[in-house]
Structure 1
């Protein structure tokens, strides 16, 4: 039973009011019996010798409000106690030795389940910043499963920056998952060119694929190697564009112009090919440059080529 009356409950209560605040057994249809039972349980109708009488909703509301406030207080107190209650378990977790290499070599993990488990541990241990470059399609179910942990990371004040390819944000459900994260503080950009997958935790641990089918991963802790991967991520991040530039599809003419630019045609050649004025083509190019964050025509052509490849 929810805290608020349903439409059927409201209708039956109002029917009692219209009858002077009383309902007789003969006023009720068989289908009304379940709703009647709920109204009695809520205290909105009280049984009498001749049927049922309506109770002032204000008194019922005051009682429910008091109960909800009491329940909320208990939950708040319980929430305050949880960290203390779990402290011994947290200490035990922190004491578990993690796989490390004294020489700084990569630790290899085989199997999707073990890889996910190690990433989940690293996400839980992350305290300052999480960086991710995620090329290709993103599995929707995986994003849904990771959402609670991602939001927990953001809620404890960690920064989160993720780079996707255009093909990822083209799926509406995947985009909705991304927006759930950006709504809590994550930063997401889109890069329309090829790049390698990498996850970086607190700029001290990195996870990269160790096989083409991503069933093997390498966990890297060597400071020089991790710094190298961070530098590559920052380079890609600087070239990427905000997600909202890729959400709405461009005009078909704009897309055709971009494809011709990707083939190396000049602005004048594109105008001639499409039978448009150079001024019109320039306007479309301006929109494309804004969309892809391209500073030069050459860079834009390269970006469009990358998007076609993605």
Structure 2
């Protein structure tokens, strides 16, 4: 029987030898041999070549010395390691001339890098977070994020937390109604993390230590720009700080009660965008909510203002003065 048969029978490798195999191999080493019938529960010992037939008695097996068995398995691994090292040296040598050119190149050449595909984007983010020393700033537009994305965020954030990195994140108000978001916050409890929310946000943004920033390159999130020009990163940091000052800390509740006209803050925000001429889908996207919720708010707004049609609603919003009452 070959090794593949063993794996199918025992579902383990030599590095994870089964309990029966360990016990019987140890017994064979102590006694110098073991009867074939005794290893019926652990045929992996023969499959892994830890036992071989006794030339003097076909009913018995003799153990292979552990030092010999280990050497037989270490040899191909060590040979592979040596080959990997050789390739590393060759690869480094092949890039020497390019590194020399890069060292003399003007900084603008490295200022903007286009990252195509999630694999390259994630790899660049991993490098940036590894280099982090102080703080990471993030803008996450939209509503509550799916659980699998928050799990990825926890995996990426945990090493930063362990290193004492500060994190400031801007979400939209709609995440306040997301259980996944609060579960994510609870998981990272005690971290140097602050979260604030706003009605509307700019596109997704990540800034690491005033050194590198990442912004979308397309609407489909399939490409990103890695920005390392100090001027660009500084400008984006100022934009983030401006938004941060206007945002509401997550621990501070928002007023959801309607005003004297029966208009809530969410409906007031929708009214502003309706007057701008945005359709339901665009309004929902700007405010980080689904279209059904958006339309339900529009219906309540229409009822509060006594509107019988979409065209009349826009007129009544402008006439009511509700958009000029608050900043």
Give the TM-score normalised by the residue count of structure 1. Answer: 0.49
Give the TM-score normalised by the residue count of structure 2. Answer: 0.47
Larger radius of gyration: 2
